Structure 1
């Protein structure tokens, strides 16, 4: 029996995203997904080889969506405000789509420099950091910022901030990072000995 013509990868990913959002990664299985789409599970395998392939496609889609949100957030703003807006958009995305955000953090073999949505997401943040710090390809600053953002998201999600919440810790930490980036831009370049 041929698989339904109406079934497309985009439709499958849309429904898989809904299942993921509602039930977490455990809900992301081929049989419930097929049932939600009104097809046989075997129909899904014409588009995705297995559950892992489906998860990778959802991860790519999530990276694209987060990247687009970060780009929109800082458009046409000066570097510091653009980076502040980018960080707020990151936090908002992680809060709004916690299950999808979790897909971005799944353990995987290193894919250094491989093109794709994950690399594009990295480059979007790297460009904003470099614009503020004045350091071309500012990987150090980008790693520090991303570690701060992710750490805040994890602490918030785990409830470790307690009943008092994070207070203004996010703003204080972000300001310190951005101040440090701006200081790097203002610092004169030193060649050779400092003596």
Structure 2
């Protein structure tokens, strides 16, 4: 294998692209700085010029995942009425989690798993604001944190139960649709134009 003495053309996006491919095909255990360097044809030390550690690399991938999930939510909300947009965004969330389970898992890194002094950056906040916007259009409250947390909790819980196989051979038996309809119905009912007393 040819190793470049100095990776002049190597940039952070190339590294993240290759790291994402490794993560999605081999899982987190298959992503090491040495393996990544082998894929890129460079020495491992070259990677540290761009990402100080494997943990910093995972953090950058988590930021990328948050932006990708945000784009999926925006793509789901395509100008239909607020209820249809919320349903589409919810299904886009689930689809992303199913199609990119290892990237999705990076969105849930605990703060004590991150490098000292590092926290999820602006991408996570942008993702949250997008979810809040989807919910706010339906409930009529632009800062409807309670309903946004409820929807996020439901979608994440469903994702984890499905991923772990806890639904068993029979599957969720329509539970997703029932739960989503109940949550979105409650948001819709809270809208001031539908419930002037709220």
Partner Cα distance (1:108, 1:75) in 2: 34
Select the residue among 136, 149, 158 that pairs with 1:143. 149
Partner Cα distance (2:79, 2:188) in 1: 19
Whether contact under 8 Å (2:22, 2:30) holds in the other structure is yes
Residue of structure 1 in register with 2:48 after alignment: 45
1:116 is the counterpart of 2:85: no
Question: Could you tell me the TM-score, scaled by structure 2's length?
Answer: 0.90
| Residues 115/34 of structure 1: CA separation in 2 closer, same or farther (3 Å cut) | closer
Number of residue-to-residue matches in the alignment = 186
Residue of structure 2 in register with 1:85 after alignment: 88
Partner Cα distance (2:187, 2:84) in 1: 13
Report the 3-state secondary structure (helix = DSSP H, G, I; strand = E; otherwise coil) of the residue aligned with 2:141: coil
Partner Cα distance (1:169, 1:15) in 2: 37
Select the residue among 149, 153, 156 that pairs with 2:159. 153
RMSD value, Cα: 1.4
Residue of structure 1 in register with 2:117 after alignment: none
Whether contact under 8 Å (2:132, 2:142) holds in the other structure is no
How many Å apart are 1:78 and its aligned residue? 1.1
Question: Could you tell me the TM-score, scaled by structure 1's length?
Answer: 0.91
Partner Cα distance (1:73, 1:15) in 2: 27
Residue of structure 1 in register with 2:115 after alignment: none
Q: Deviations over 1:123-165 (max 9, x none)?
A: 0010010000011200000000000000000000010100001
Report the 3-state secondary structure (helix = DSSP H, G, I; strand = E; otherwise coil) of the residue aligned with 1:76: coil
